[in-house]
A and B are shown apart, each in its own frame.
Chain A
């Protein structure tokens, strides 16, 4: 089946530093990838849609200058949390669709990155 690999799975950083999270589609090309965030006991919240070769589309309330997204190839999207603060501590998950941008195809998720900012 389709595999989405996310790295790192866990990161602890100090307040004010930046953290980069990578999301790779291993056996398919993903023109679009999605970045979600999940706080404890809450649902996944879409942060942004990452489009290969163009700018990401951010959801309302998500700061694009704080959460930098780069989708430089069909198999790699990165999310950089800049100047991280403790309130950014969360579970970040990327996902991608197989079947191009077919709306009826399900999402496949990376294994997530648990970020803790001290």
Chain B
């Protein structure tokens, strides 16, 4: 089993749609969790950290379920500029483990 697994996608949605991504992790000792976005042929950029109580940043909401070992990312009112690959990142030790990413394409 992979350490971090994500919906493979791709997700193709119209502008304004709400889309959700899920990610599961295998190491129950993981302490910190993040969502990154990666544009084509670019480095990943931090989108948001994921806190135990869930957190929101504008149109983006992240949630963590430690019991089930999954995190989620919800994007509301999606924009064309949201098109990217979204990476789930989990920190089991002093390193970071990345999911394979979920590709999102928002269409006009």
Q: Which residues of A contact B (CB under 8 A)?
A: 32, 34, 36, 42-46, 49, 91, 93, 95, 101, 103-112, 114
Contact = CB atoms under 8 A, between A and B. Distances in A.
Contacts of A108: 46
Main secondary structure of the interface of A (DSSP, over half): strand
B99 A106 contact: no
Contacts of B106: none
Contact of B44 (A44, A45, A49, A104): A44
B90 to A, nearest CB: 11
A110 B44 CA distance: 9
Nearest to A114: B41
B96 A46 contact: yes
Contacts of B89: 107
Contacts of A32: 94
Interface of B: 31-32, 34, 41-46, 49, 87, 89, 91, 93-101
A103 B32 contact: yes
Contact of A109 (B43, B91, B99, B100): B43
Most interface-central of B31, B41, B98 (chain A CB within 10 A): B98
A109 B44 contact: yes
A41 B98 CA distance: 13
A108 B89 CA distance: 13
Most interface-central of A43, A104, A105, A109 (chain B CB within 10 A): A43
Given A34-B96, A106-B46, A43 B87 contact: yes
B101 A104 contact: no
